[in-house]
Amino acid sequence: MTSEEWQIVWFTAWVSALSTLVILPFGLALAWELARRDWPGKSIVETFVSLPLVMPPVATGLILLKLFGRRGTIGGFLHGRLNFDVIFTWRAVLLALSVMSLPLLVRSARVAFEEVNPRLEQIARTLGAGNWRVFFTITVPLAARGIIAGMILAFARALGEFGATIMVAGNIHGKTSTLSLTIFQDVQLGQDTNAFRLLGVSVVLAFAAVWFSEFLLRRKIKTR
């Protein structure tokens, strides 16, 4: 492995970790709303959240490209007012990874929240705890294992993201090259040995992440 390749592994790992942290507040809030509340149009929101899981990643990437490009609704505003570019920068990688891994976090967290007995939250309220205190001292600790398993799954998904990433970030050497993009390019250039080396690294990373996530879930079931 060359130092360049290690740089790519490192970049992939930290952008994936950052994307997991970035989606955490919104993902947990959304999961809690879906778990506890009912409102007209809820099923539409549920479907939208699941879309990146089911749609072809390049299709999701295309939507992001149109939205965040300099001529797009959001991208135009960012470029024009704040001189801030997303497409073809590392921020586009962060965007692609976040959008693609969000559904996994929301699904796991939602199930975890649904398994918390609402009676416990209610009694906490009678003891004088407001909504935020109930959420952080009762709901989240009891749902912790499921949430963490969801975060790990989201992280693993982000590690392997390709279709949306290549659409919005390209594969710019040193700036947006992720593990998957580099494997693809190595194959394009006929550098199969390099590709297989990086393939090995991604398998190890993904394996570790998924195994740990399953381990956490199994432990949760045993202690009940």
Partner 1 sequence: MKAFFCLLTLAFITLASVNIRAAEITVFAAASLTDSLKEIAAGYEKTSGDKITFNFGASSTLARQIDAGAPADIFFSADEAQMDGLAKKDLIDPATRKSRLGNMLVVVIATDSTLQINSASDLTNAAVKQIALADPKAVPAGVYAKAWLTQQQLWPAIEPKVVPTENVRGALAAVESGNVEAGVVYKTDAGISKKVKVAYEVSAKDAPDISYPMALVKESKQPDAAKDFLNYLDSQEAGDIFKKFGFILRD
Partner 2 sequence: MSLLLKNISLPLEPFTLGVDVEIHSLVTAVFGPSGAGKTSLLDLIAGLRRAQSAFIQLDDRVLTDTTAGFFVPTHQRGIGYVPQDLALFPHLSVHQNLLYGCKSGGAANTLFSFDHVIQVLEIQPLISRGVSELSGGEKQRVALARALLASPRLLLLDEPLASLDAPLKAKIIPYLTRIRDEFQIPILCVTHDRLEALALADDIVLLVGGQVLQTGPVLEVFNRPASADVAKFVGVETIQPGTVTIVSDGLAKVSINNATLTTIAPETAACDVFVCIRGEEVILQRDAATGSSVRNHLPARIVALRPEGALVRVELDAGFPLFALVTRPACVELALREGESIIALIKTPAIHLVPR
Assess contact for 159 and 202: CB atoms under 8 A.
yes
Candidates 42-50, 134-142, 172-180, 214-222; binding stretch for partner 1 (CB under 8 A): 172-180
Tokens at residue 118, please? 């609402």
Tokens at residue 149, please? 């398993």
By the rule CB under 8 A, 62 interacts with partner 1: no
Residues 57-86 that bind partner 2 (CB under 8 A): none
d(CA 122, CA 7): 49
Assess contact for 220 and 144: CB atoms under 8 A.
no
Selected binder of partner 1 within 22, 55, 187, 199 (CB under 8 A): 187
By the rule CB under 8 A, 81 interacts with partner 1: no
C-beta of 223: minimal distance to partner 1 in Å? 50
d(CA 156, CA 76): 31
By the rule CB under 8 A, 37 interacts with partner 2: no
Q: Report the Cα–Cα distance between both ends of the chain, in Å, rounded.
A: 45
Residues 107-136 that bind partner 2 (CB under 8 A): 117, 119-120, 122-130
d(CA 214, CA 210): 6
In the bound state with partner 2, the residue whose beta carbon lies nearer, of 17 and 129, is: 129
Which parts of this chain interact with partner 2 (CB under 8 A)? Answer: 117, 119-120, 122-130, 137-138, 141-142
